Amino acid sequence: MAPVDVPVALLGYGTVGAAVNRFLHENADNIERATGHRLRVVRALVRDLKKERDFPAAPGVLTTDFAAIADDPEIALVAEVMGGIDPTHDYILRLLRDSKPVVTANKQLLAQRGADLFAAAQEGGVQLRFEASVCAAIPVIKVLREALVVTNVHRILGIVNGTTNYILTQMELGAEYGEALAEAKRQGYAEMDPTEDVSGADAAAKMAILATVAFGSRVTLDDVNFEGVERITSAHVNAARQMDMVVRLVGRATLVEGGYDVRVSPALVDCAHPLAGVEGAFNAIMLQGDAIREITLEGPGAGGIETASAVIADMVSIIGTKGTGFLHDDACWRTVDRLPAGELRSPFYLQIAVDDRPGVLARVAERLAAHEISVARLVQFQTGGGAILHVISHEATYGAVDEALAEISGLPESREIAVAFPVISQRGISELGWA
Ligand SMILES: NC(=O)c1ccc[n+]([C@@H]2O[C@H](COP(=O)([O-])OP(=O)(O)OC[C@H]3O[C@@H](n4cnc5c(N)ncnc54)[C@H](OP(=O)(O)O)[C@@H]3O)[C@@H](O)[C@H]2O)c1
């Protein structure tokens, strides 16, 4: 049977866009065998027609005119791989309202304006798919939406940013934060301006999208409490190692009776936990639910060809489910409230630098007890004229820990601002700590 010819367009022809075109060329026969369709890039929107491209497009494909895509009735679907909020938001709205299905790799746009985009998709009666927006080649959106459709996923733990994971694993090998970041840039894992990655904003957008899909309620970037890796020092990494743990930037989304909590922060992860073994620029997502107990997906979370493979899988899914009624509408079907920011509970690791004077330990313990933070393990190491207290607590609320830390940091004996990281372990907390 003759293959069905499917003209498609790209918004953007950079790292991902050129990889999509290359992939479609090199795998055209495989795609045809699997789907009976031949996808052909007929237009790609760019800013600069003269720029050199990794995989040059055929003559006449590149354009700087969005109307050449929006007004072409032949184009069956569009993949948005240009990034940014403006003008991308307006472009996608226009395409969806005009009944052109869209695939996007744009996590910030979805996490900030997802509601508008899905409303436009519904208006146009077409699909908006977004697998590539979360962890590139790891098919977590498909798993959540299709494979786990009847499972109540109530907890997600994820290492969803490869740049920061690379930095933290370099620090485990002895590098200081600045050296590790410079190496990440040299290796192409970090942008020249790495702010979105190191501040946790990139991971926060991905966690907002994952929580939205898993919990069926809209979670936007504004609903995510996030902190990055900028204040991590080798002292934290070394302390973690002594306790048989590693520092990781962990996104966690939790659904409980009465609300949800989504946050991103550095955490100490027990070496026996599956997330501790995720090294370098790799990503992993652990899904916990009623029927499945737990599923962990791990793989490359970025890269041109990895992201392109997810973009193309979504394109093929759209073509394969057209007219079948298997529409991927907005994942949201209810409104779940956000829990008050400090209410979530976790065990914590606290690092407190104090003068080495009689009575200091008692004062620190008193501030912890005042906030109902119960100490599971404590060791003290001497430094020149002072001491560093390393504490592992039983479960406490984030709010209580923040308040206790502020009070401890204000004690006259305090040498620097005390820090706390949640601890992630599947063992009993009293088994953690120093041998
Ligand atoms: N790279 C990855 O590993 C990765 C992983 C996951 C998700 N993503 C997402 O994929 C998207 C694309 O990433 P990328 O790495 O491919 O970016 P990129 O290399 O910077 O490419 C962006 C492309 O979009 C075009 N473009 C940007 N703004 C435009 C505008 N206003 N009008 C017309 N064209 C415009 C650029 O044109 P010129 O070429 O003419 O400048 C370029 O071709 C982003 O949303 C990103 O977050 C990327």
User: Are residues 215 and 152 located together in one domain of the fold?
Assistant: yes
Check if the beta carbon of residue 258 is closer than 8 Å to that of residue 339: yes
- Residue 63 pLDDT grade (very low, low, confident, very high; cuts 50, 70, 90): very high
Instruction: Find out whether the beta carbon of 162 lies less than 6 Å from any atom of ligand 1.
Output: no
Instruction: Find out whether the beta carbon of 105 lies less than 6 Å from any atom of ligand 1.
Output: yes
Q: Which of these is catalytic: 50, 51, 100, 206? A: 206
pLDDT mean over 194-211: 98
Ligand 1 centroid distance, CA of 106 (Å): 9
Any domain includes 134: no
Between 197 and 327, whose confidence is greater?
197
Check if the beta carbon of residue 45 is closer than 8 Å to that of residue 103: no
Ligand 1 centroid distance, CA of 283 (Å): 21
Check if the beta carbon of residue 217 is closer than 8 Å to that of residue 335: yes
Check if the beta carbon of residue 111 is closer than 8 Å to that of residue 208: yes
pLDDT mean over 108-128: 96
User: Are residues 269 and 372 located together in one domain of the fold?
Assistant: no
- Residue of 414, 415, 386, 418 whose CA lies nearest to 402: 418
Amino acid at 201: A
Between β-strands 259-270 and 245-256, what pairing exists: parallel, antiparallel or unpaired? antiparallel
Any domain includes 97: yes
Per the annotation, the verdict on 206 as an active-site residue is yes
Instruction: Find out whether the beta carbon of 103 lies less than 6 Å from any atom of ligand 1.
Output: no
pLDDT at 382 over 90: no
- Domain of 392, CATH number, reads 3.30.70.260
Between β-strands 293-300 and 282-289, what pairing exists: parallel, antiparallel or unpaired? antiparallel
Any domain includes 257: yes
pLDDT mean over 317-325: 82
What is the position in ligand 1's atom list of the atom closest to the CA of 12? 24
Site to probe by mutation for ligand 1, drawn from 10, 11, 13, 16 as the one with most ligand atoms within 8 Å of Cβ, is: 16
pLDDT tens-place string over residues 145-187: 988 888 899 999 999 999 999 999 999 999 999 999 999 999 9
Q: What are phi and psi of 387, to 5 degrees?
A: -145, 145
**CA–CA distance, 2 with 395 (Å, rounded to integer):** 63
Region of 161 (left: φ > 0; alpha: ψ -120 to 50; beta: rest) is: beta
**CA–CA distance, 111 with 106 (Å, rounded to integer):** 9
- Residue whose CA is at the smallest distance from ligand 1 atom 18: 14
What's the whole-model pTM score? 0.94
Q: Tell me which long-range contacts 366-369 makes (C-beta under 8 A, separation of at least 24).
A: 367/404, 367/407, 367/408, 367/411, 368/393, 368/404, 368/408
Any domain includes 331: no
**CA–CA distance, 210 with 263 (Å, rounded to integer):** 12
Ligand 1 centroid distance, CA of 105 (Å): 9
pLDDT given at position 330: 85
What do you get for the CA distance between the two ends of the chain, in Å? 68
8-state DSSP, 217:
S
- Domain of 282, CATH number, reads 3.30.360.10
User: Are residues 123 and 148 located together in one domain of the fold?
Assistant: no
- Residue whose CA is at the smallest distance from ligand 1 atom 9: 105
- Residue of 203, 255, 196 whose CA lies nearest to 224: 203
User: Are residues 106 and 187 located together in one domain of the fold?
Assistant: no
User: Are residues 315 and 376 located together in one domain of the fold?
Assistant: no
pLDDT given at position 435: 52
pLDDT given at position 302: 87
- Residue whose CA is at the smallest distance from ligand 1 atom 15: 15
pLDDT tens-place string over residues 327-367: 677 889 999 999 998 999 999 999 999 998 889 999 999 99
What is the position in ligand 1's atom list of the atom closest to the CA of 88? 31
User: Are residues 110 and 149 located together in one domain of the fold?
Assistant: no
pLDDT mean over 183-196: 93
User: Are residues 159 and 260 located together in one domain of the fold?
Assistant: yes
pLDDT at 132 over 70: yes
Any domain includes 416: yes
What is the position in ligand 1's atom list of the atom closest to the CA of 17? 16
- Domain of 30, CATH number, reads 3.40.50.720
Q: What are phi and psi of 280, to 5 degrees?
A: 60, -145
pLDDT given at position 147: 87
pLDDT tens-place string over residues 266-313: 999 999 999 999 999 999 999 999 888 999 999 998 899 999 999 999
pLDDT given at position 385: 82
Q: Among 173-187, 250-264, 315-329, where is mean pLDDT lowest?
A: 315-329
Instruction: Find out whether the beta carbon of 301 lies less than 6 Å from any atom of ligand 1.
Output: no
Instruction: Find out whether the beta carbon of 307 lies less than 6 Å from any atom of ligand 1.
Output: yes
pLDDT mean over 377-382: 88
**CA–CA distance, 411 with 252 (Å, rounded to integer):** 32
Name the domain boundary from 300, 331, 357. Answer: 300
Instruction: Find out whether the beta carbon of 188 lies less than 6 Å from any atom of ligand 1.
Output: no
pLDDT at 138 over 60: yes
User: Are residues 351 and 392 located together in one domain of the fold?
Assistant: yes
Check if the beta carbon of residue 415 is closer than 8 Å to that of residue 389: no
pLDDT at 13 over 60: yes
pLDDT given at position 433: 65
pLDDT given at position 25: 96
User: Are residues 225 and 246 located together in one domain of the fold?
Assistant: yes
Ligand 1 centroid distance, CA of 61 (Å): 17
Percent of the chain with pLDDT over 70: 98
Any domain includes 329: no
Number of domains in the chain: 3
Check if the beta carbon of residue 219 is closer than 8 Å to that of residue 121: no
Which residue in the block uniquely carries the two structure tokens 């929580």?
Answer: 211
What is the position in ligand 1's atom list of the atom closest to the CA of 53? 39
Q: Is the peptide bond before 422 cis (omega within 30 degrees of 0)?
A: no
Between β-strands 375-383 and 386-393, what pairing exists: parallel, antiparallel or unpaired? antiparallel
User: Are residues 149 and 296 located together in one domain of the fold?
Assistant: yes
Any domain includes 29: yes
Average model confidence (pLDDT) for the chain? 94
User: Are residues 122 and 157 located together in one domain of the fold?
Assistant: no
Check if the beta carbon of residue 270 is closer than 8 Å to that of residue 255: no
Instruction: Find out whether the beta carbon of 91 lies less than 6 Å from any atom of ligand 1.
Output: no
Residue ranges making up the domain that contains 198: 140-300
User: Are residues 368 and 388 located together in one domain of the fold?
Assistant: yes
Check if the beta carbon of residue 79 is closer than 8 Å to that of residue 315: yes
Residue 375 pairs with which residues in a beta bridge? 393
Any domain includes 197: yes
The string of DSSP letters for 2-27 reads PPEEEEEEEE--SHHHHHHHHHHHHT
pLDDT mean over 399-418: 94
From residue 157, give the alpha-carbon distance in Å to each of 12, 40, 231, 302. 31, 38, 21, 18
Instruction: Find out whether the beta carbon of 36 lies less than 6 Å from any atom of ligand 1.
Output: no
pLDDT given at position 381: 87
The string of DSSP letters for 46-115 reads -S-TTS--SSPPPTT-EES-THHHHT-TT--EEEE-S-SSTTHHHHHHHHHHTT--EEE--HHHHHHHHH
